[in-house]
Amino acid sequence: AIDPDLPLSDLQTMTQRRSRLVVPQKLAMGLSGMFGVVALFLSALGIYGVLAYVVAQRTREIGIRIALGGTARAIFQLVFNEGLILVIGGLAIGLVGAVGLGRALEGQVFGVGPTDPYILGAVAFSTALIALLACVSPAHRAARVDPLNTLNQQ
């Protein structure tokens, strides 16, 4: 109203200005999500690797168990339970760490409490599900060990 000939510059809607202000938070959220997916994949790969190594080391023992009358189901449960113990231990340590670190990162998470039970439950459930799926293949391989070939090998 004072100077109608004054040129206008940097015209933006409030939505555009607000979206530009939250770019760092969106970037941090995207990177955190990506690192979480990578960590989930690496943990599943690690559990698979450990169980596959255990099965390879204990092939002779598993062959003896089968030769003495152990069922494929019992062998599967033996190996799967070892993986289950690893998963439960890892989840317990991870949940304690998440609650501890959640307090430190409270300012970075908007609209979600640092110990939101729904978020922690969803993460724990998905991690446990993927980790237990990683346990199935080594347990299945152990259940299919041929006792005759295993016992003939030195």
CA dist., res. 150 & res. 154, Å (int): 8
64 pLDDT above the threshold of 70:
yes
Q: Which amino acid is at 43?
A: S
Q: Hunting for tokens 């998440």 — which residue is that?
A: 98
What local confidence, expressed as pLDDT, does residue 154 receive? Answer: 59
> For the chain, where are the alpha helices, taking DSSP H only?
14-21, 23-57, 59-67, 72-104, 117-143, 147-152
- pLDDT bucket at 55, cuts 50 / 70 / 90: confident
Q: Which two tokens stand for residue 119?
A: 């978020």
- pLDDT bucket at 50, cuts 50 / 70 / 90: confident
3-class secondary-structure state, position 143? helix
- Residues 11-43: b if buried by 16+ CB within 10 A, e if exposed: eeeeeeeeeeeeeeeeeeeeeeeeeeeeeeeeb
Q: Hunting for tokens 């190996």 — which residue is that?
A: 79
Read off the pLDDT of each residue in 46-70 and give the average, rounded to a whole number. Answer: 88
Mean pLDDT is lowest, of 9-23, 31-45, 98-112, for 98-112
